[in-house]
Structure 1
Amino acid sequence: MVIFEGVLRRALTESDLRPLPSPVEDLLLQLDAPPRLAAHLRAVHDVAAQLVDWFDGRLPLDADAVLFGAATHDIGKAIHIDELSGPGHRHEPAGRDLLLSHGIPAELARFAATHASWTAPDITAEDLVVSLADKAWKAKRVPDLEQLVVARLPGAPWQAFMALDDELTRIAATADARLAFQSSCPV
């Protein structure tokens, strides 16, 4: 019945990464999701939690929404498995629809569709932080995305940029461990 259950459970529990919210773990098990997807979602969720902590007092955020969004942003790859190891955007609307079909409210399901669309006119700070976590987990820097975040931070833009740059550099220092964990889990 469940093809990857033991390996999936390992991806959901091993490593020093924060655990995913229980409803997300349950959904991944129900979907018989690829272990690599679970490992990726944990890595991005862990970085999102670090960012939420850093943004506290700097940027008003719905922390629970950011953490749920990071934990589910690529859930559509449980359907479009080829996008776990190759390019594609079919997983984005599919992920939103999958979450909606499992009773997840639209305001949380949206992250599956918005995590790669940070230039949309109605993008929220929460969307930007999920997008940032989805890049920062592997030490990837996206200047346009970072500038959108900096524009929402108080104070002089150059000071906000320097502070964010320091935080992203700190997060990047542990990217190799996150990448190794994800790579240890099969697609």
Structure 2
Amino acid sequence: MTTDTALSRALSRTVNPPLCPLPDRVAELLIELGSPPRLAAHLRAVHDVAHQLVDWMGRRYPAVPFDREAVLFGAATHDIGKTVHISELSGPGAAHEEAGQALLLGRGVSPELARFAATHASWTEPGVVLEDLLVSLADKIWKNKRVSDLEDLVVARLAEETGREVWEEFIALDEVLSRIGDDADGRLAFQGSFPIHA
């Protein structure tokens, strides 16, 4: 399997359950960068989960202001720095965060959108907004990883925005995350079916 073929398949292969395609701009960027196929598959899985989260937000919280498109772009590009730091696809490391932000800025992406590459693992930093939290949440729940301090921050923001009780928002978030998490095995299998190096 060549890199181009594997990358193309990661970007477009139909799977069950279905995964949303990445935005054209992101797919083109991944092709231009010669992205590892596994990275493209990962970004597609996280982007799909972000779609589910923002759709749920739109239904449950129609009056809560947030930038849906920013969340989707952030989820689709959050690990793009791993095109430079490929070892972080299979091992720990945070060098891809700053590298990803710089890479996106260097290709004309606005700072408002490029920031997600740097903030997706830093949800406790000052200045983090709901969009950052949703990208971080998508990056965890795609594989059904529950992170209580991150979820607590989301619940607190939602309770603050709606005026509802924290426990009520906790139950609502827990239900949607459990539902999304139920499909984690399929997303993990999809990602794992692609090589890090072609």
- With the shorter chain as reference, the TM-score category is over 0.9
1:157-176 paired onto structure 2 within 5 Å: 157-176=166-185
Alignment match, 1:8: 7
The one-character-per-residue Cα deviations of 1:128-149 (angstroms, maximum 9, x if unpaired) are: 0000000000000000000000
RMSD: 0.8
| In structure 2, distance between residues paired with 1:121 and 1:26 | 33
1:4-153 paired onto structure 2 within 5 Å: 4-14=3-13, 15=15, 16-56=18-58, 57-58=60-61, 59-153=64-158
| In structure 2, distance between residues paired with 1:61 and 1:9 | 32
Unaligned runs of 5+ in 1: none
1:179 aligns with 2:184: no
Question: Which AA in structure 2 matches 1:11?
Answer: A
| In structure 2, distance between residues paired with 1:100 and 1:117 | 19
Unaligned runs of 5+ in 2: none
The one-character-per-residue Cα deviations of 1:57-113 (angstroms, maximum 9, x if unpaired) are: 523210000000000000000000000000000000000000001110010000000
User: Following TM superposition, by how much is the alpha carbon of 1:55 offset from its aligned partner in structure 2, in angstroms?
Assistant: 1.0
Identity %: 63
| In structure 1, distance between residues paired with 2:177 and 2:150 | 12
| In structure 1, distance between residues paired with 2:4 and 2:102 | 24
Alignment match, 2:165: 156
Aligned residues: 185
Greater relative contact order: 1 or 2 (C-alpha under 8 angstroms, separation 6 or more)? Answer: 2
- TM-score by length of structure 2 reads 0.92
